[in-house]
Structure 1
Amino acid sequence: MSFLQTVLAFVFCLGPLIVFHELGHYLVARWCGVKVLRFSVGMGTVLWSRRFGKDQTEWAISALPLGGYVKMLDAREGELAGLPESDLKREFTRQNVWKRIAIVAAGPLANFLLAILLFAGLYMHGVEEPSSKISVQTEAPAWQAGLRSGDVVSAINEQPVQVWSELRWQFIQSAIDKHEIRLAVERPGQGRVSATVPAAALEGLDLDGDVPGLLGIGVARPAPVIEQVVAGSPAERAGLQAGDLLTSVDGVQVADGIAFIDIIRGAAGKTVLVTLQRLGQPLTVSVVPQAEQAKSSKGTVTVGKIGAYVAQRPDMIKVPSSPVAAVGKALDKVWDTCAMTLKMIGKMLTGEASLKNVTGPITIADYAGQTARMGAAHYLSFIAFISISLGVMNLLPIPVLDGGHLLYYSLEVLTGRSVPERVGEIAQRLGIGLLLTLMLLAVFNDVVRLL
């Protein structure tokens, strides 16, 4: 069921994005007076098609689901002999260069527009997510910078922060730029406090991983209080009760519910001593976690369970915005995401960032499935990010991509002459080779991540 959900989440993510991208080309082509012969969802052999409209444009579904295209009346793709003059005037290459630029740029711009609409809708609705209250590992870089568990981050590099996603975003941007992270935090009993994570602490961080976590920062979670005890479970037999505040296991202090669960999972079949507070009084009980089989990234493993539910949910916050503010935040988000993507590409080209950051369809499908299981808001946010990525990727100056064609037309604007056909053919072959190489690298990285 999980695999099927992942596949469906991937299809419903990528499919509409491709359609939206091609609709951008189609609508601007029609607006510029160019005749559109076919609009295809998918590549390769046409499986189904119907013709509609004054121009009898063929709307088709093709065999390969990854991709799509808009086929216009184009002298480079076939003989035009016998066509009426009214159609010849609507041929793509006969349009002035600015119309051709508009048609080609419309696809990526449509992806950016979709992302803006999705983010604006999410900001207006408000998305419930963890607040910017943090936990900090002792002696980690964040601890050495002066941060402490229980701090509520209110601003990073002078940018307001309210929720965890905003905090993580600012950390990633600082790690890419390799500049210090200046934080303003609210600390219980002390008020507003400042802290700075030096740029040196960001050197060598895996930008594809959990950047705040690598610096010792995590989402603050509630105290490890038992919420429910399952009847007949090892926890009930040991005397544990709802409301008990867990303080340590075998002398190891328990910071939160996750830490307690981790200890219990690793103690299958062993007797452990659990120290707790009940109605303000200390108490120690012994419990034997029951061994059970569970699936993990490493296969089937044996874990310990005691049949008690412990508080884990962090402080959550929902921040809805007005329509005007939501659109402004969405524009900033899309702009920042584009800038960060381009910076990462630049750093990979110069060797400052690893090529393992190149991801492909397997990773996208995996993340699509994960976010779909987390809820509609997370899934829509993921779709918006993928839409931005598609837009940026298509604007790269690589022949066969939209950006390659825009490069040709930009040269035509500067020189007054179109790119020679022979040069274009050679560039196309090089572009196809480069894209195939990137696809192989992306799939290789995807497989390595799975393994």
Structure 2
Amino acid sequence: MDLLTELLAFAVAIGVLVVVHEYGHYSVARLCGVKVLRFSIGFGKPLFQRVSRKTGTEWTIAALPLGGYVKMLDERDPDAVIAPEDLPYAFTRKSVAQRFAIVAAGPIANFLLAILLFAIVYASGVSEPVATVAAPASNTVASRAGFDGGETIVGIRYRDGGDGETHAVRSWSDLRWKLLGATFDHRHVVLVAREGTRGPFDFPLDLSSVSDRQVDDDFMSHLGFEPGGGTLSVASVEPGSAAQRAGLVPGDKLRSIDGKPVDSATSFIATIKSHAGQPVLLQIERGYARALQNVTVTPVLQRDDATGASVGRIGAALADQVPMVEVRYGPFESIQLGAQRTWDIALYSLRMFGRMLVGEASLKNLSGPVTIADYAGKSARLGPSAFLSFLGLVSISLGVLNLLPIPVLDGGHLLYYLVEAVTGKAVSDRWQLVLQRAGLACIVALSAIALFNDLARLIHF
């Protein structure tokens, strides 16, 4: 069932993004007076075809749904037989500015879609974890800043190059995005937090020493920030497990482990994993009387399916109930935030790609269709808001990828037109052929790396 969900979500995501991208090309081509011969979703054998009586465009759905294309009337097509009266409608007869606009319209359509999707999510409201932090690991940026756990971050202020204004932090997701930008820029910031009814307190963070290789999906953990302030309890216990032998039962609330308060599932699981064969002391709260008891459990050494490493396990499923907040914005603010989020993600993607090229960031950050399908399924199961946010993220990635100055991509064609605008001469067919071969080699190499990363995540090598 999960596989079916992933496949359906992946098909919907790719279908929507491809249609929007290609319709950007199509709509601007029509505005510029270019005759569009075919609008195809997918490649290979056509499964559905319909020719528009008004425009003469052939609308096609093909067998391989991993992309699409818009075929325009083009004098460079060796198979094209163009009637003299149709020559003014050929793509190659249009000005440099018009050709530039037609090619750029695809990625721009992806960015506009992302803005719309994010705006819908912001306007409809989404329930997100409160920005309450768990006790940070020692020698992390969070611990050095003075966080002990239990503080709720309500604002952020930029000490270097900022306007001195404290920007509100509304949720954990909001905090993550603000820290991502600050970490990527190696900035000095001040987090404003409250602890219960006390505060606000200032926590200065020096992000200048954070390695670029740590700016990945797990960068918050590298900084020492994990969601906290919630209640961790035992959801179920496996028969014959270490948890059952120790006397743990479903419903037990975990209060401390080896004397340290339990305020996040991440830190609790990390402690269990690192104590294989070593007894740990749990303080639990049981029953309606909320009586406190001490339980000693010894994690058993087992293989971790996610990483392939040998870790400690107790055989209990956990339920982590973190405090939530409903985040909702007005329509105009939602559009503004959608545009800002789209800009931030696009800029981050470009900079990350640049750092991968010069070796300052790991190529493991590249993902392929397997990872996209996995996240599509996961986001679909989480609900409409999560899936729309995922669509927006992938739409931005598609737009950024197509703007890279690599021949065979939109960005490569835009580079040709810039050269033509500056020199007054079009790039020769010979040079275009050479560059396209080089560009195709780059795309194949990137695709191979992305597929390798996908397989590495699946089989943990």
TM-score by length of structure 1 reads 0.87
1:267: how far off? 10
- Whole-angstrom distance in 2 between the partners of 1:346 and 1:261: 35
Residue of structure 2 in register with 1:89 after alignment: 88
Residue of structure 2 in register with 1:135 after alignment: 134
1:16-46 Cα offsets, whole Å, 9 max, x none, are 1011100111111111111111011112333
SS at structure 2 position matched to 1:193: strand
Change in CA separation of 1:169 and 1:296 when aligned onto 2, cut-off 3 Å = same
More displaced, 396-405 or 413-422?
A: 413-422
Of 157, 180, 186, 2:194 maps to 186
- Whole-angstrom distance in 2 between the partners of 1:334 and 1:372: 21
More displaced, 199-208 or 64-73?
A: 199-208
Aligned residues: 446
Q: CA contact under 8 A between 1:399 and 1:428: conserved in structure 2?
A: yes
Of 397, 408, 423, 2:416 maps to 408
Structure 1: 5+ residue runs without aligned partners? Answer: none
- Whole-angstrom distance in 1 between the partners of 2:69 and 2:285: 65
1:150: how far off? 1.3
SS at structure 2 position matched to 1:135: coil
1:154: how far off? 1.7
More displaced, 310-319 or 408-417?
A: 310-319
Residue of structure 1 in register with 2:331 after alignment: 323
Of 169, 172, 188, 2:177 maps to 169
- Whole-angstrom distance in 2 between the partners of 1:304 and 1:190: 37
- Whole-angstrom distance in 1 between the partners of 2:248 and 2:47: 65
Task: Within 5 Å, give how 1:336-347 maps onto structure 2.
Answer: 336-347=344-355
Whichever residue aligns with residue 425 of structure 1, its letter is: L
Residue of structure 1 in register with 2:112 after alignment: 113
Task: Within 5 Å, give how 1:12-411 maps onto structure 2.
Answer: 12-78=12-78, 81=81, 83-85=83-85, 87-139=86-138, 140-156=140-156, 157=158, 158-203=166-211, 205-224=213-232, 246-248=254-256, 251-256=258-263, 258=265, 275-276=283-284, 279=289, 282-284=292-294, 298=308, 304-305=314-315, 312-411=320-419
Whichever residue aligns with residue 167 of structure 2, its letter is: Q
1:159: how far off? 3.3
- Whole-angstrom distance in 1 between the partners of 2:452 and 2:366: 9
1:311: how far off? 5.6
- Whole-angstrom distance in 2 between the partners of 1:169 and 1:346: 20
Q: CA contact under 8 A between 1:222 and 1:311: conserved in structure 2?
A: no
1:181: how far off? 3.5
Q: CA contact under 8 A between 1:254 and 1:260: conserved in structure 2?
A: no
Give the % identical residues: 42
Change in CA separation of 1:220 and 1:389 when aligned onto 2, cut-off 3 Å = same
1:297-340 Cα offsets, whole Å, 9 max, x none, are 6599996457xx87622111112111111111111111111111
Change in CA separation of 1:304 and 1:284 when aligned onto 2, cut-off 3 Å = closer
More displaced, 390-399 or 187-196?
A: 187-196
Residue of structure 1 in register with 2:163 after alignment: none
SS at structure 1 position matched to 2:149: coil
- Whole-angstrom distance in 2 between the partners of 1:290 and 1:406: 58
Whichever residue aligns with residue 127 of structure 1, its letter is: V
Change in CA separation of 1:26 and 1:192 when aligned onto 2, cut-off 3 Å = same
SS at structure 2 position matched to 1:124: helix
1:74-130 Cα offsets, whole Å, 9 max, x none, are 001136556141x11101101111111111111111101110110111110011111
Change in CA separation of 1:183 and 1:419 when aligned onto 2, cut-off 3 Å = same
Q: CA contact under 8 A between 1:268 and 1:304: conserved in structure 2?
A: no
Whichever residue aligns with residue 104 of structure 1, its letter is: V
Change in CA separation of 1:201 and 1:93 when aligned onto 2, cut-off 3 Å = same
Whichever residue aligns with residue 28 of structure 2, its letter is: V
| Cα RMSD for the two superposed structures | 3.5
More displaced, 258-267 or 68-77?
A: 258-267
- Whole-angstrom distance in 1 between the partners of 2:222 and 2:29: 48
More displaced, 441-450 or 47-56?
A: 47-56
Whichever residue aligns with residue 447 of structure 1, its letter is: L
Q: CA contact under 8 A between 2:303 and 2:309: conserved in structure 1?
A: no
1:210-248 Cα offsets, whole Å, 9 max, x none, are 111112110114244679999xx998x969796x75434
1:260-305 Cα offsets, whole Å, 9 max, x none, are 6777899999998754457576544678999999976659999645
1:397: how far off? 1.0
SS at structure 2 position matched to 1:89: helix
More displaced, 68-77 or 203-212?
A: 203-212
Q: CA contact under 8 A between 2:135 and 2:263: conserved in structure 1?
A: no
Q: CA contact under 8 A between 1:225 and 1:246: conserved in structure 2?
A: yes
- Whole-angstrom distance in 2 between the partners of 1:180 and 1:402: 37
More displaced, 180-189 or 276-285?
A: 276-285
